[in-house]
């Protein structure tokens, strides 16, 4: 920023200096032309009053020269113009009294000069009066050039210092935010960066950083809760199996080993179910897609309903031609999880609806049970979260079926929610019908 500010200031100084030099050079040139013209007119006036010969006086560095009808130099300013050849060779035309030109090849002049020639009538023939004013250089004079360069350098220096100070002052809060973020660790996750008082971009940056930290803390808290719940749920079947084996080993002759084996097997089956669900969640988190294909939801529901017998009456309401792009096995897992959940809580009937609504494929699973209270509708989708009613109906459940179903819906670009119904719980899956292939794949 300092270099850019210096370069911009330098460009401005160059432009301003050029304009000043052009203006001053124009004024100086006009002034010298006026001096030369006035000096030539004065000599012309003196020639009318009497004969002019010898030395002539001229202001500044104006050079004068008078030539008779034979084009011989008879008067001039002291120096080569009096003793040498004519300072110019051009003559005013017959229709003009005077003429002016730039001359650079005269031996009597140093460098280029602006020369004006006046024709003076005399009885013996026309005489000529030449007046020459030296051309003004592009820099006008060394003093002015030195002044402009000095002022430009001073302005560039001041601009660089100002830019350095402004940027340093502006970025100081950013550096403070960076230092605070560097100090925040997993053990100090509750800390937040200081929000500046000024309502500017830096304040919005600090607020965005704090919002990000809030989300990270929430994710960290969910991870810790998930780890704790997973450890507890894994420990329970292991502890039960260990207790049963230890009791059997204390009295090996009095133990019904087949019954003990069946009890241990039940604990192992629960442990296997938990591990299987955890592996499924891990695969979903990694988004390891299988074959992506076009799936007819009505056909999928019909096939899955025919594969297994249900203890409750299942009533389908299926619209044909409702298709989505996705992983068939995962969508089947989502549907069976919803159907198993509905079967556990239904009294006697489960309604399954497949329809096309506003460009979305919609799958609804509705049971006629007690339903889910509105304040618990998000809780049931958390991992290992189980309501009291669920624990009573299925003590061996893992609490991972609905979270797995929602994650599958998310990976297909859709949503899985619990919506209002007259009775029971109404789970609604919505998947956009135009989701591109492998939309859920993560890089």
Give the 3-state secondary structure of residue 55.
Answer: strand
pLDDT per residue over 300-323, tens digit each? 999 988 887 888 899 999 998 899
Least confidently predicted of 204-213, 266-275, 331-340, 373-382: 266-275
Specify the DSSP class assigned to residue 186.
G
| Cα-Cα-Cα-Cα dihedral sign, residues 185, 186, 190, 196 | positive
Q: What pLDDT is stored for residue 376 in this prediction? A: 77
State how beta strands 292-296 and 313-318 pair. Answer: unpaired
Q: What pLDDT is stored for residue 155 in this prediction? A: 95
* Distance between CA atoms of residues 108 and 77, nearest Å: 11
* Distance between CA atoms of residues 47 and 376, nearest Å: 118
- Answer for the pair 411, 432: CB distance below 8 angstroms, yes or no: no
- Which CATH code is given to the segment(s) 201-280? 1.10.287.130
Q: At what angle do helices 142-183 and 201-250 cross, to 10 degrees?
A: 20
H or E segment and range at residue 352:
strand 349-357
Q: What pLDDT is stored for residue 384 in this prediction? A: 67
* Distance between CA atoms of residues 156 and 148, nearest Å: 12
Question: Any idea where the domains of the chain sit in the sequence?
Answer: 2-134, 201-280, 289-432
pLDDT per residue over 162-195, tens digit each? 999 988 887 888 888 888 788 776 556 677 777 8
Cα 127 to Cα 53, 73, 113, 115, 327: the distances in Å are: 12, 10, 21, 16, 110
Over pLDDT 90: what percentage of the chain? 25
Q: What is the pTM of this model?
A: 0.47
CATH class of 289-432: alpha beta
* Distance between CA atoms of residues 98 and 114, nearest Å: 13
Per the model's pLDDT, the better-predicted residue between 281 and 341 turns out to be 341
Q: What pLDDT is stored for residue 441 in this prediction? A: 42
């Amino acid at each position: 920023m300092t270099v850019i500010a210096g370069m911009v200031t330098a460009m401005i100084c160059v432009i301003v200096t050029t304009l000043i030099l052009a203006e001053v050079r124009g004024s100086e040139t006009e002034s010298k032309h006026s001096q030369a013209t006035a000096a030539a007119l004065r000599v012309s006036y003196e020639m009318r009053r009497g004969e002019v010969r010898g030395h002539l006086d001229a202001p500044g560095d104006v050079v004068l020269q008078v030539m008779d009808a034979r084009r011989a130099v008879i008067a001039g300013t002291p120096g080569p113009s009096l003793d040498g050849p004519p300072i110019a060779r051009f003559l005013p035309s017959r229709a003009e009294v005077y003429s002016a030109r730039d001359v650079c090849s005269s031996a009597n002049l140093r460098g280029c000069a602006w020369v004006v020639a006046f024709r003076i009538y005399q009885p013996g023939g026309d005489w000529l009066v030449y007046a020459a004013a030296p051309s003004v250089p592009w820099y006008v004079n060394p003093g002015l050039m030195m002044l402009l360069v000095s002022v430009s350098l001073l302005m560039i220096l001041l601009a660089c210092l100002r830019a350095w100070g402004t940027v340093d002052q502006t970025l100081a809060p950013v550096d403070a935010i960076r230092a605070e973020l560097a100090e925040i660790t997993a053990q100090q996750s509750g800390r937040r960066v200081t929000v500046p008082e000024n309502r500017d971009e830096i304040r919005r940056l600090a607020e965005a950083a704090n919002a990000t930290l809030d989300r990270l803390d929430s994710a960290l808290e969910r991870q810790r809760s998930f780890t704790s719940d997973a450890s507890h749920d894994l420990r329970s079947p292991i502890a039960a199996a260990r207790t049963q084996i230890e009791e059997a080993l204390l009295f090996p002759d009095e133990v019904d080993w087949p019954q003990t084996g069946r009890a241990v097997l039940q604990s192992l089956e629960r442990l296997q179910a938990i591990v299987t669900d955890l592996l499924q969640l891990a695969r979903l988190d990694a988004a390891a897609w299988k074959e992506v294909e076009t799936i007819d939801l009505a056909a999928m529901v019909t096939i899955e309903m025919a594969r297994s017998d249900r203890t409750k009456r299942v009533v389908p309401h299926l619209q044909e031609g409702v298709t989505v792009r996705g992983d068939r096995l995962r969508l089947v897992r989502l549907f069976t999880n919803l159907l198993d959940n509905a079967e556990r809580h239904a009294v006697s009937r489960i309604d399954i609806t497949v329809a096309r609504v506003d460009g979305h494929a919609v799958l609804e699973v509705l049971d006629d049970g007690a339903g889910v209270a509105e304040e618990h509708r998000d809780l049931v989708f958390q991992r290992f979260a189980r309501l009291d009613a669920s624990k009573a109906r299925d003590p061996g459940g893992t609490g991972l079926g609905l979270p797995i179903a929602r994650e599958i819906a998310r990976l297909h670009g859709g949503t899985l929610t619990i919506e209002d119904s007259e009775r029971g719980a109404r789970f609604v899956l919505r998947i956009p019908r135009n989701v591109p292939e492998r939309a859920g794949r993560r890089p």
